[in-house]
Structure 1
């Protein structure tokens, strides 16, 4: 794990971990605070529960990681039109402002909301499940993280070096 000062482009704290945990993030933040650093905001990979744990700060999800979450659900080359459009919309995060992105996502949802709500009944069990659960999950991830995405300003991802 690495905590980096984005203004001076310097690594301030690091820790070798097998997997990142919220406790590791909190240790890093506490280290910075105890050494007199002022934390303006935090850009992270979107670890579940991290935003709530660091709620006293402005926390954003790395653009690259949000796009990778969407790509995980939708694949690189989706075959359905709704899926292709949502993947393309997710890639707009780095090229648009917050209001524009929200408008585009809402327009997509208006067009495809019935499609992502579609349910299929399993003949054997009789249980109803979403017909397109991965598309639904991708959309809900974007919607849930709308307020946490850093828009327009491409931020370099520390893990991959990508934007």
Structure 2
């Protein structure tokens, strides 16, 4: 059980939320429609990388959260990668904030050309005779960056919109205190916990 929250990054106002069992693209669609029906105008959207969510907001400039992108890559290649290819990919990611779309794309292209044969290596599993990429986590890391590349520099391509390149405002400002509050009341029933969440979000909205 969780709560999906939409927040205005300019006014810091919590606009709308929905309690969910699992995070689904349809939940984002629902909240988007609700928000538009309430008369809001959407200038841009910053997302955390949930697969398929970018398509929900295809009519708006979409920014992928840099923090989440780095976390995704870290999950695949670890914090201290041993493979040379992984180490170089990590270096490219450390320059994300200081680069622009053209330079970052060029660096990624050069890396891919250099390690393409390495990435293409296949392992045959004797028991099943099935094959898989030998360095599948590294391949997954590369594909994640490549797939999200169109959304990594929106904040620089649309400077007038003053987009945030992370979701830290809601992660740290809203969710962190809320998680502490829920932990304090962890013995309560689900319905009471949801009421606590609702009360917190309503009061946060008024406070801001």
Q: CA-to-partner distance for each residue in 1:98-150, whole Å, 9 max, x for gaps?
A: 11110111111111111111112223433332110000010011111110223
After TM superposition, list the pairs within 5 Å mapping 1:12-91 onto structure 2.
Answer: 12-91=15-94
Q: Post-superposition shift, 1:160?
A: 4.5
After TM superposition, list the pairs within 5 Å mapping 1:1-163 onto structure 2.
Answer: 1-150=4-153, 154-157=165-168, 158-160=170-172
Instruction: With the length of structure 2 as denominator, give the TM-score of the two structures.
Output: 0.69
Q: Post-superposition shift, 1:18?
A: 4.3
- CA–CA separation in structure 1 for the residues paired with 2:58 and 2:65: 16
Instruction: With the length of structure 1 as denominator, give the TM-score of the two structures.
Output: 0.87
Q: Superposition RMSD on alpha carbons, in Å?
A: 2.0
Aligned length: 161
Residue ranges of structure 1 left out of the alignment (5+ in a row):
none
Residue ranges of structure 2 left out of the alignment (5+ in a row):
157-163, 174-208
CA contact (8 A) 2:123 2:131 kept: yes
State which structure, 1 or 2, has the greater radius of gyration over its C-alpha atoms.
2
